[in-house]
A and B are shown apart, each in its own frame.
Chain A
Amino acid sequence: MPLLDVKDVTLQFGGLTAIRSFSFHLNAGEILGLIGPNGAGKTSVFNCISGFYHPTSGTITFDGTVVNGMRPHKRTALGMARTFQNLRLFPNLTAEENVMAGTHCRTKANIFDSMLHLPAQVREEKSVHEESRQWLEFVGLGKDYRRQAKNLSYGQQRRLEIARAMAIRPKVILLDEPAAGLNPSEKSELMELIRKIRNTGVTPLLIDHDMAMVMKVTERLVVLDHGEKLAEGTPDQVRDNPAVIEAYLGKEEEDA
């Protein structure tokens, strides 16, 4: 059984169809890329999976549970983490506090524990701090834990967002254009990080329009264009698929 199964999902905004009868699945442990030109509907697919949009029809099954209609925080509790295309950190909180937010769904202290500093709460706080530092180390921000998120460099902010999502200890991490705006050396670091994420047992699902990068890191690709599935296969198969080439580069002129 796939970890994530998207079946016949259609998303309409009024008269506009953003996604049309789109299906794909994600197996545990693989690195899957969802690619497509700008405006193809990739982020809409992500928003349907994570619960920020609700598909007009179709079903989304995550880890054996149909998640349709479930609010985003409930899906997170099931083990689904995401990052955002345009960085949605908590800008005025420190790097550490940003990551600590990720532990929220696994920790238990309630309002009374917190006011009374009961022993269980004190222990939990200690472990939350330690774990958050570890995730910062994991993405290479170990020294920056006290800095406010907004004062980190753009590349650091991208990595912080990944650390925060990893602190959820999810089963799957949805990465929405994590390479956007990164320079080539940052991009290759990111690809290393994505492999490292998979090696911890978390399944990454990557969205990007940067074919070259996605090809290098993913094992299987799903290509989306105009809200519909255009192709699916290994990076090599997809690269040679004429329909994909056409969607990206336009139709080739016949030689005279």
Chain B
Amino acid sequence: MKTLNRWLKPSQIKFVKPAALVLLLAMAFVMPLSVQSPYVMDVGLQILFYTTLALGLNVVVGYAGLLDLGYAAYFAVGAYTVGILTQKFHFSFWVAMPLGGALAMLLGSLIGFTVLRLRSDYLALVTLGFGEIIRITANNLDVTGGPSGIFGLQGPSILGFRLVQPIHFYYLMLVVLVLSTIAIARLGSSRIGRAWACLREDEDAAEAMGINTLGYRLLAYVTGTFWAGLTGAVFAVKMTAVSPMSFSFMQSITILLAVVMGGLGSVPGVILGGALVILLPEFLRAVADWRYLVFGLALMLLMVFRPTGLWPAPHSLKGEE
């Protein structure tokens, strides 16, 4: 903000944020029309998936401060729900998609209700365990197609227009991402978001303020699972297949990385983080086998020099003033 002050009048500064947003959105909208490369298209889609997932996880980790290491499990639940319902039971995708979100929430509430009494470190371990349980279960059940998963999923259709090309899913996910961003940003600055912030800051004091701490932990956790389920649903039809390979522990870590790297609790930060966890390894393809090493080093440097993330939530910034 200080550098902006040098170039612009105060009356102009307030237009910077909306202008930047409109510009970013316009770029995201025009990108697939101007670039014909399937590679760029695919990277763009990956970014949309990961930013949406990171936004959802941000509710759990950033807003409420609950460390969840098994987030990919709910992504899997959404994907498998759509896979099974559309292929085996001939449900419409548009019915299966919200059901995917709902089932993820149902499972999230069952798991959350039992484990959310635990404090941070233990919670991280238990969620890690559950994440693996879901993946291994999917790998072994018949209904989920075992290790080979479910394949040959049909793209959904809107008013007779069938979504098949990556570009169709790109725009579908762009709509999901924009709506998610609005919803999650609004949540963060609401009464609910403040209750989560209190919980994160000091649980006993939050309880003394009349905040049902257990209830709000559960709410944060389950809200997060909804986004994972929803994104998983779209992911399934875009890939036309669901396989247990897609929901490994590394997935959970990558999504968490996007949240931490961008800035816990910061919506623009998390979107930036989601883009970077996809883009950085792609740019680093030049260094071939070394790319994850370089990526790891970059992360370490980031945590040393900017522990609050690249685009921290406003509170963590104010502390430095």
Contacts and interface: CB of A to CB of B under 8 A. Distances in A.
Given A90-B197, A93-B197, A105 B210 contact: yes
Contact of B209 (A91, A104, A110, A117): A104
Contact of B201 (A91, A100, A110): A91
B2 interface: no
Contact of B187 (A92, A93, A114): A114
A171 interface: no
Interface in B198-252: 198, 201-202, 204-213, 219, 223
Interface stretch (B150-158, B188-196, B274-282): B188-196
B26 interface: no
Given A114-B191, A121-B190, A92 B198 contact: no
A137 interface: no
Given A73-B210, A84-B205, A109 B190 contact: yes
B194 A100 contact: yes
Interface string A54-96: 0000000000000000011100110001101000111111100
Contact of A104 (B187, B195, B204): B195
Interface stretch (B68-76, B91-99, B283-291, B313-321): B313-321
A150 interface: yes
B208 A82 contact: yes
A88 B194 contact: no
Contacts of B194: 93, 97, 100-101, 104
B183 interface: yes
B182 to A, nearest CB: 8
Contacts of B212: 71, 73
Contact of A111 (B204, B205, B208, B223): B223
B197 A168 contact: no
B315 A105 contact: no
A81 B209 CA distance: 7
A178 to B, nearest CB: 15
Given A91-B201, A150-B319, A102 B191 contact: no
A218 interface: no
A97 B197 contact: yes
A76 B186 contact: no
A148 B193 contact: no
B209 A164 contact: yes
Contact of A72 (B187, B195, B202, B208): B208
A236 interface: no
A174 B192 CA distance: 26
A92 B204 contact: no
B13 to A, nearest CB: 17
A52 interface: yes
Interface string A165-198: 0001000000000000000000000000000000
Contacts of B206: 90, 101
Contacts of A124: 191
Given A92-B201, A104-B191, A128-B191, A50 B208 contact: yes
24 contacts: A72-B207, A73-B208, A73-B210, A76-B207, A88-B202, A88-B204, A89-B202, A90-B198, A90-B202, A101-B195, A104-B195, A105-B211, A109-B190, A109-B192, A110-B192, A111-B223, A114-B193, A115-B186, A115-B187, A115-B190, A116-B186, A125-B190, A148-B319, A150-B319
Interface of B: 182-183, 186-187, 190-195, 197-198, 201-202, 204-213, 219, 223, 315-316, 318-319
Given A101-B198, A104-B191, 5 more contacts: A76-B207, A84-B205, A91-B202, A102-B209, A116-B186
Interface of A: 50, 52, 71-73, 76-77, 81-82, 84, 88-94, 97, 100-102, 104-105, 107, 109-111, 113-117, 121, 124-125, 128, 146-148, 150-151, 164, 168
